[in-house]
Amino acid sequence: MSAGLTLAAPVASQAAVSASGLYDFGSNAYGELGDGTTTASTSPVLLRALPSPVIQVAAGYKTSAALLANGTVWTWGENYYGWLGYGYTSGVVDTPHQVPGLPRITQIALSTEGDGYAVAANGSLWAWGDNTYGQLGNGTTTSSSLPGLVLGLTGIWQVAAGPSFALALREDGTVFAWGDNQSGNLGDGSTTASYLARPVPGLTGISQVAAGGSTSFAVSSSGALYSWGGNSQGNLGTGSSAQYTVSPAPVPGLTGVTQVASDGLSTLALANAAVYSWGNNLCGELGDGTTTDRSTPELVDRGPIAQVAVGATFLFDGYSAAVEPNGTLLTWGCNGLGQLGQGISGSMITTPTPVTDLTGVSQIAFGSESTGLSGGAYGLVIAATPSVPELVGDTLTRATTALHSAGLVVGTISYAFDYTCDTIGRVMRQAPLAGTTVAYRSAVAVTIGERPPSTLQCP
């Protein structure tokens, strides 16, 4: 890493690994929730099928991925074009499986066209999936169902995936791009595609990159934000009416930027821990209480906010999220498939609204749908997973208090005769057992001892 350059830590290294788990909600037509079904859920569901704590999640189009604390990558969902990286193509894979052949990984990304990317601890970059536009960066247009090296890159710190192109940030603060370039999204002054990674001219001291639709972004270590590529929804944030731009340009009016997220239609940026938004606003995904589009940044949440995320469907239906430092998750925008995790579906939400079924949230990733079908509108979240406390021997009042403190609730209460006088009216049994990891607000069933009938009174 060059002297004096401070890179924004990848999301993976920011997430706590203790007492946390992976939750998901929204569409599930292609098994993207990973729970062994294709049933959608409007409320967060705890995914239990992973062997190590999750430190980063990524959501694409019909595909999901998790980076575990042991450095392995697990994927699930639709496996067309070998999108899941298993070495074969198939239909729906509705539970997580490990991607083979990867070294220890530190950051992952998925595109909205089914490509997967993984940054290794040694600075190499790996890719798999569709390669129609050379987005795998191996000099060909041949798709691959197994991970392969992106050629010509070393010292990689972060990768961002557009639908058919990718951006990579090196430890020295320079940016590389490859793949489709019809809207100038590679930032090299042209609209010529490239099957190999090439530098983005004029960018130095960069600390984070992001890609959405045909638009690219870069955050500098000084807090400036640059954008280039597609601008059909004002997504560049520059106020320009041009359909696209082929070179990076500053987004005016923002300072102290630390993160940017875009789906190609709308964009959120964190600046001095506050949320700014611009672009498409069909469902109120900009969070200002309206459905009015904007082509320049506007303050929508003074924060403090720790992370933002966005997603969208083929029908321009967008959805947004923000994570507060205390672990509260806020979501807003379109909710046709329950992708906001609010326990309901259908109605849009036009201002940031807490998701009450989660606590201790450290990261969220939204999928994006690119065909107008029923996949992609879902969220993956790393959040706290409470452990059931020991209740046996406590009175019902004390057991209720203990469960509430752990973020759980009392479920079914049953009664049994208890002929031991010193445990009358206390918890005799509980389910799940103490120490079991469960979802936030899960219900715990208890059996309470009752006084015996009068003929069996204790002495």
Cα gap 133→374, rounded to integer Å: 25
Give the architecture-level CATH label for domain 396-456: 2-Layer Sandwich (3.30)
Give 10-residue mean pLDDT values along the chain (459 residues).
51 49 93 94 90 92 94 95 92 95 97 93 97 96 97 97 96 97 97 98 96 95 96 92 95 96 94 96 95 95 94 86 95 93 92 93 88 74 92 91 91 80 77 91 90 56
Place of tokens 């370039």: 181
Q: Which residues contact 326 (CB under 8 A, 6 or more apart)?
A: none
Cα gap 190→184, rounded to integer Å: 6
Residue 108's pLDDT is what? 97
DSSP state of 152: T
Containing 358, the helix (H) or strand (E) segment is none
- The token duo for 439 is 């979802």
Backbone angles phi, psi at 134, to 5 degrees: 75, 20
Cα 6 off chain centre by: 24
Q: Reading across the β-sheet that carries 215-220, which strands appear in turn?
A: 206-212, 215-220, 225-230, 244-250
135 in Cβ contact with 214 (< 8 Å): no
Q: What is the pTM of this model?
A: 0.90
Residue 452's pLDDT is what? 60
Cα 358 off chain centre by: 14
One fold for 11-384 and 396-456: no
Give the three-class secondary structure for 136: coil
2 in Cβ contact with 172 (< 8 Å): yes
Give the three-class secondary structure for 396: helix
Residue 12's pLDDT is what? 43
Query: What would the DSSP string read from start to end of 89-113?
Result: --SEEEEEEEPTT---EEEEEE-TT
Containing 23, the helix (H) or strand (E) segment is strand 20-26
Specify the fold of 11-384.
Methylamine Dehydrogenase; Chain H (2.130.10)
Question: Domain limits of the chain?
Answer: 11-384, 396-456
DSSP state of 426: B
CA distances (Å), origin 409, targets 42, 118, 202, 403, 413 = 20, 39, 56, 6, 11
